[in-house]
Amino acid sequence: MEAIGVPWFIVVRYLGPPLFLLVAGGALLLWRRPARSGLAWAALVVNLFAAALPFLWIGAQVLTGQADLTVIGLVMTLLQPGVVAVAWLLLLLALVSQPKIEVAVPGDRGDGGEADSGETERAPQNVG
Q: Which pLDDT score, from 0 to 100, does residue 96 have?
A: 85
pTM for the model stands at 0.67
Q: Show pLDDT as tens, one digit a residue, over the chain (128 residues).
A: 666 677 888 888 889 999 999 999 999 999 988 888 899 999 999 999 999 988 888 888 788 877 666 666 777 788 889 999 999 999 899 888 776 666 666 765 655 555 555 555 666 666 65
Is 21:36 a contact under the CB 8 Å cutoff?
no
First to last CA, the chain: 83
DSSP H helix total and E strand total for the chain: 3, 0
Q: Which pLDDT score, from 0 to 100, does residue 34 have?
A: 80
Q: Which pLDDT score, from 0 to 100, does residue 33 have?
A: 85
Q: What is each CA distance from 2 to 55, 59, 77, in whole angstroms?
A: 11, 11, 22
Residue 4: closest CA among 45, 53, 51, 56: 56
Is 47:84 a contact under the CB 8 Å cutoff?
yes
